[in-house]
Copies of this chain bind each other. A is one copy, B any other.
């Protein structure tokens, strides 16, 4: 294994330190944690519901890259592919509560769900009102190594963007929870891998694929998917994913948003080619793409691969997706 790191044990604090030191106008560390909170001039006077997300590290820029005005208020980084601890999540909640309550956006992994729930109880004991949204956009498999039900993957960033804009607009906590559930229900993702990720503490890829093989339905922690196939042209790959994902939407009218997400080691060139093919495949189905985004948003360390997220979106969600934010990575 060759990686640009120092001690495997210090990867996360050193990463968070590098992120904060190079973006001190946007974020700062919450002392004694590997959580970051907004540090922009507008945060002190922001009179809104706070939004906290987080999870295991290795998915950068998720979540810390999306902290800022109009998106997350704070993000909590756990060890690589490991849930953050309840006390760190609790510190983040306290750092962002303005008396209007705090919304937790949690990817559906057993560890995250449990630890965010414990932090919620700690905060409620301090009379902080908490709402929780669990994101489970990955339609490729039911249940998985670390999950009961479906996994939360790249669609999370779209959920964070829409709820961040809605919270900034003044929406109350209860309404944000209702909106979040509707957004999650309308968001569907499948990922494919050409090469698995190498977790630093493990030192080799999480699973092996042949020189001409590709895996459909992978998760963002090296979870295997639903089939291994021979590598195919981008057009075929995008058609397969579009077919599977759009099959989940009974109503194909109205606005749709898409995210073509690089898994970490996939050149942007290939992401744009795949996006081009995906737009063709959606056009052939008369599906109207009102918002599209391409890039490394929710990665899996050095995994080579891509995921496609399709969201059936209310017109207001499209407006919220387009609103400017001040973050590192949106």
Contact = CB atoms under 8 A, between A and B. Distances in A.
Copies of the polypeptide in the assembly? 2
A6 B280 CA distance: 14
A264 interface: yes
A254 to B, nearest CB: 19
B231 A18 contact: no
A194 interface: yes
Given A22-B293, A265-B265, A304-B265, A15 B194 contact: no
Interface string A244-287: 00000000000000001000111111111111110100000000
B212 A18 contact: no
Interface residues of A, number: 58
A268 B21 CA distance: 15
A80 to B, nearest CB: 8
Interface in A135-176: none
Given A2-B214, A6-B233, A269 B21 contact: no
A274 B212 contact: no
Contact of A265 (B61, B276, B302): B302
Nearest to A25: B322
A267 B268 contact: no
A279 B211 contact: no
A299 interface: yes
Nearest to A195: B2
A244 B141 CA distance: 50
A137 to B, nearest CB: 20
Given A276-B15, A296-B296, A6 B235 contact: yes
25 contacts: A2-B195, A2-B214, A2-B231, A2-B304, A4-B274, A5-B234, A11-B273, A14-B234, A14-B272, A18-B271, A18-B274, A19-B294, A21-B292, A22-B260, A22-B293, A22-B294, A58-B267, A60-B269, A61-B268, A65-B268, A264-B267, A265-B265, A265-B266, A267-B299, A268-B296
Interface of A: 2-7, 11, 14-19, 21-22, 57-58, 60-61, 65, 194-195, 211-214, 231, 233-235, 237, 260, 264-277, 279, 292-296, 299, 301-302, 304, 306, 329
